[in-house]
Amino acid sequence: MRTLNDVPRRLVVAIGGNAVHPEDIRGTSEEQKSVAQITAEALLPLAQLDNELVITHGNGPVVGKIMMRQMLTMSRIPPMDMDICVAHSQGGIGYLLMQAIENALREQGNQRHVASLLTQVEVDKDDPAFKNPTKFVGPFFSEDEARKIGAELNWAMREDSGRGWRHVVPSPKPKHVCDISLVDALVKRGTIVIAGGGGGVPVVRDARGVRTGVPAVIDKDLTSAHIANVLGIEELLILTAVPRVAVNFGKPNKRDLDQVSLEEIKAYHREGHFPPGSMGPKVDAAIRFLEGGGKRAIISHLDCAMAALRGETGTHVVQ
C-alpha cells in the first residue's frame, strides 16, 4: 500500500461513458449536471494534489443518443456525420466535467484551472474495424426493439454482454493524438486537462497532411493508453463500474484480481475472461499501455479513485 507521498505525480485518468451518463437516467440536462458533480467529487482528491493530471472520458451512451435523435428527425433536419456527433458529445461532456471539477475545487478554496480540449485522433483508413463494427453506443433495447430499429435506421445492432441489444459502430485503433503537445504544455503548467473525450474525434490524414473525419467511435481506454505512453506517464487509472477485474465473472468460482502481471492478464484474456462489450476494452488498454512503456495500469470503481491509486483496492496490472 502506498502513502500519499508515493502517489504518482503524473497520471492519466480514464472515466467510463456510464460515469458521465449512467444507464438509469433519462438524460435531462439536470441529470447530466448532477452526474458530472458526483464524478467531480470522486475525482476531487486527485485534483487537489500537486500533479500533472489528464482526464479522459467515454461517450458511448451520449453519442448513441445524439445519433438516434437525429435519425428520428432526419425528415426535417439533415443528420450530421458520425465524427461531428462525436465532437458534439465530446464538447458537451467536457463542458459539464470541466465546470463541475472547477466548482468542486473552488468550494475547497483551490484556484486550479481545468481545460477541456476538443481532440482529434488519427486512425488508419484501412483499419479492419471499418468492416467489422464492434463499439457499443447508445441505450439498451430488447431484441425485438433492436431488430425494428436496425431495420428502420439501417443500423448494425448486437447483444451486449447479456444486458440487452445496442447499436454497434466501427472502432479503429488510435494512431496519433493531434496537438498532443498542447496537452503536455497545459499539464506542465498545472492545468487539469480533459482530452481525448469519447476516444477523440476520428480523423484520417492524407499525404499532404489534410485531415478528414470518418464514421467511427474510438475506444477511449485505448486513446487514454496512447496519451499516457506518448507523454511518458507511467501510471494509468481506468475508472469503471466495478472495484476490481474478475476472472470467471458471473460464475460460482468468480475471483477478483488484485495485483497481476502483464503476462498473467494476457493469459486470462486469451482464455476469454473479459468480454468485448464490458471489461475487454479496459484490459486491452492496460496491456497496450504496459507494452508501450507504462509501469502500472489500475482498473477500479469511480468512487474508489484515490483508494485505488494508493493500492487499497482495484486491479493493478504491472510489468
Residues 72, 138, single domain; the answer is: no
Position 2 in a domain: no
The span from the CA of 293 to the CA of 229, in Å, is: 6
Residues 66, 154, single domain; the answer is: no
Residue 6, pLDDT above cutoff 80: no
pLDDT digits (tens, 9 = 90+) for 178-231: 999 999 999 999 999 999 999 999 999 999 999 999 999 999 999 999 999 999
220 tagged catalytic = yes
Instruction: Read off φ and ψ for residue 298, nearest 5 degrees.
Output: -115, 130
Residues 138, 78, single domain; the answer is: no
pLDDT, mean of residues 98-123 = 98
CA distance from start to end of the chain: 17
Q: How confident is the model at residue 5, as a pLDDT? A: 67
Q: Which of 169, 193, 223 is the last residue of a domain?
A: 169
Q: How confident is the model at residue 3, as a pLDDT? A: 67
Does this model's pTM top 0.75? My answer is yes
188 tagged catalytic = no
pLDDT, mean of residues 298-311 = 95
Position 236 in a domain: yes
Place of cell 492478464: 265
Specify the number of domains making up the chain. 2
Residue 312, pLDDT above cutoff 80: yes
pLDDT digits (tens, 9 = 90+) for 64-92: 889 889 888 988 999 899 999 999 999 99
Q: Which three cell numbers stand for residue 158?
A: 448486437
Q: How confident is the model at residue 139, as a pLDDT? A: 81
Burial (CB < 10 A; 0-12, 13-18, 19+), residue 249, is middle
Residues 209, 222, single domain; the answer is: yes
Average pLDDT score, the chain: 93
pLDDT band at residue 103, thresholds of 50, 70 and 90?
Answer: very high
The span from the CA of 205 to the CA of 282, in Å, is: 27
18 tagged catalytic = yes
The span from the CA of 87 to the CA of 213, in Å, is: 10
Q: What's the CATH number where 93 sits?
A: 3.40.1160.10
Position 203 in a domain: yes
Q: How confident is the model at residue 10, as a pLDDT? A: 96
The single residue of 18, 51, 150, 213 carrying the catalytic annotation is 18
The single residue of 92, 94, 138, 282 carrying the catalytic annotation is 282
pLDDT digits (tens, 9 = 90+) for 247-269: 998 889 999 999 999 999 999 99
Residue type, 197: G
Q: How confident is the model at residue 136, as a pLDDT? A: 87
Q: Which of 115, 148, 169 is the last residue of a domain?
A: 169
Residues 219, 146, single domain; the answer is: no
Residues 310, 275, single domain; the answer is: yes
Residues 98, 246, single domain; the answer is: yes
Position 60 in a domain: yes
Percent of the chain with pLDDT over 90: 77
Residues 24, 149, single domain; the answer is: no
Position 4 in a domain: no
Q: How confident is the model at residue 142, as a pLDDT? A: 93
Range of the domain at 149: 134-169
Residues 151, 95, single domain; the answer is: no
Whether the Cβ atoms of residue 9 and residue 51 lie closer than 8 Å to each other: yes
The single residue of 16, 220, 229, 294 carrying the catalytic annotation is 220
Whether the Cβ atoms of residue 233 and residue 219 lie closer than 8 Å to each other: no
Residues 220, 96, single domain; the answer is: yes
17 tagged catalytic = yes
Residue 4, pLDDT above cutoff 70: no
33 tagged catalytic = no
Residues 197, 240, single domain; the answer is: yes
Whether the Cβ atoms of residue 243 and residue 314 lie closer than 8 Å to each other: yes
Burial (CB < 10 A; 0-12, 13-18, 19+), residue 97, is buried
The single residue of 135, 197, 199, 294 carrying the catalytic annotation is 135
Residues 221, 269, single domain; the answer is: yes
